[in-house]
Structures are given as C-alpha cells and as structure tokens.
Amino acid sequence: MKDLIYDQYRKLIRESKFRWLIIVGSALYILSPFDISPDFLPIVGWIDDGLVLTLLLTEVSAILMEKVKEKKTEADSPSEASSTADATDGKTVDVDSVQVK
C-alpha cells in the first residue's frame, strides 16, 4: 500500500500539469489540523504530516536537481566538446605511474 501511494504521488508530481496542484495540496494538508491523524494528538498526529512533508521535499528537490543538471549539460556541452578536442587533439594518452621512494 505504501509503495502504491508513493508511486502515485511521484507520478502526479512529475507530471507538469498536476505539479502545482500536488504541491499546494500537500502544503495545505501539512498545515491543516484536519487530516488522517489529528495534529492535537502528540507525536501520532505529526507522523502523517512528516511523511507528506518528506515526500514533498524529496520529489521537489529531485525535480529541481534534474532541471539544474539539464541546464548544466546544455551550457557545458558545446564548450566542453571544443575544449577537450583542442586539448587532446582527439588522441588518448595512457600513462603508467611509478612510485618514487
């Protein structure tokens, strides 16, 4: 059951048309006193909020990291290809190392 909920949450948040709806809904659930286990119960009431918050932060940070990596590869790919081609001239150099005492 846990994997089913997590997989559905992850699939919905990664779909761009539902992303903001899921983020806002999760934030409202965390802030709302009305949820699966009421927040006025110590510890027990906070567990479900902690799980939703963990899911939300994990997925949002994964999405942000993917976007950062995409932008980095887009920015680095033209300059990196030309700089490595100039530096090695298309040849690979193997070097054997020897320890000097």
pLDDT at 32 over 70: yes
DSSP secondary-structure letter at 15? S
Total of domains in the chain? 1
Residue 65, pLDDT score: 92
Instruction: Say if 35 falls within a structural domain.
Output: yes
Instruction: Say if 98 falls within a structural domain.
Output: no
DSSP notation for 20-61 = HHHHHHHHHHHH-S-SSS-TTSTTHHHHHHHHHHHHHHHHHH
Instruction: Say if 101 falls within a structural domain.
Output: no
pLDDT at 91 over 50: yes
pLDDT at 81 over 70: no
Q: Residue range 53-78: average pLDDT?
A: 87
Q: Residue range 69-84: average pLDDT?
A: 70
Q: What is the mean pLDDT of the chain?
A: 80
Domain range for 47 is: 2-75
